[in-house]
Amino acid sequence: NSTGDDQKKLDVMSNDMMINALVNSGVCSVLVSEENEEPIIVPADKAGKFCVAFDPLDGSSNIDCNVSVGTIFSVYEKKDGSVNDLLRSGAECICAGYCAYSSATELVFTFQGSTVEGFCLDPTIGEFVHTRFDMKFPADGGKRIYSCNEGNFIHWDQPIKDAVEAFKNGIDGKPYSARYVGSMVADIHRTLLYGGIYIYPADKKSPKGKLRCLYEGIPMALIIEQAGGIASTGYFEGKIGRVAELTPDAIHCKCPIIMGGPRDVGVIYDCYKKAGIET
């Protein structure tokens, strides 16, 4: 596809379904999909006032082994009807959400400045039923879980290595459990519900990070922050910042991601402070 990932048949089908539904909805003017090299400009007779960026099937490398996959999207208001409408700060994202496809199909979304709400598909009536109200990270930090691809450990900067070692060795004498699905939707959904932290930092191998800013980083950051969590870039481009404040410079650009509750992101921040990096 446009970002160099292997494309599965289900990737193509889900992308076609998303584009067809959004183009014919009458409310979209510009679409960006992970599967398409170029943005899609909706014909004038069907164009509306919103612009949508989406990953139609996140985690599709897991399809053949029947592991959870999902869909992620971010929505912006139309300005001039060009791709520039989506190359704006994450602070201007007005709606973000994801669908998780597993033992149940769940839709989680939020509007800018609002609560995070969850819905579950009831296949007997073909409707999404409101099942999770005002979703929040557990007040005490929740389960002690860290989630990252430790195969990249050798490439990480020292504070990230130190933080992961701290999780493994135990904070207050209690070691964390490791959980990593490899589908961002599944890992973020668990982190939001159970607590813990999800880490995909910039490193020597991927200095700009690995995940896509426009349709993975920014929408998940909006959800995480509005559920009471922290969505940080870690140390990126000379400073530690918020993912939600990034401005994509291209539709498929990448960004680093550290997302979780304040208790666990605080461990990483402490490691940065020890290294002399201001958080």
Q: Is 34 known to be catalytic?
A: yes
Selected catalytic residue, list 5, 37, 122, 237: 5
User: Tens of pLDDT along 27-80?
Assistant: 999 999 999 999 999 999 999 999 999 999 999 888 889 999 999 999 999 999
Which pLDDT score, from 0 to 100, does residue 155 have? Answer: 98
Selected catalytic residue, list 216, 225, 246, 264: 216
Q: Is 55 known to be catalytic?
A: yes
Residues 105, 168: Cα–Cα separation, whole Å: 32
* Average pLDDT over all residues of the chain: 96
Q: Which band of pLDDT confidence, cut at 50, 70 and 90, is reported for residue 279?
A: confident
pTM of the model: 0.96
Q: Is 35 known to be catalytic?
A: yes
Query: 163 is written with which tokens?
Result: 């933080």
Selected catalytic residue, list 31, 37, 38, 55: 55
Q: Are strands 50-58 and 105-111 parallel, antiparallel or unpaired?
A: unpaired
Q: Is 77 known to be catalytic?
A: no
Selected catalytic residue, list 22, 31, 34, 106: 34
User: Tens of pLDDT along 218-276?
Assistant: 999 999 999 999 999 999 999 999 999 999 999 999 999 999 999 999 999 999 999 99
Residues 201, 271: Cα–Cα separation, whole Å: 14
Selected catalytic residue, list 22, 31, 35, 193: 35
Mean pLDDT of 180-206: 97
Which pLDDT score, from 0 to 100, does residue 5 have? Answer: 66
Yes or no: say if 98 and 73 are a contact pair by the CB < 8 Å rule: yes
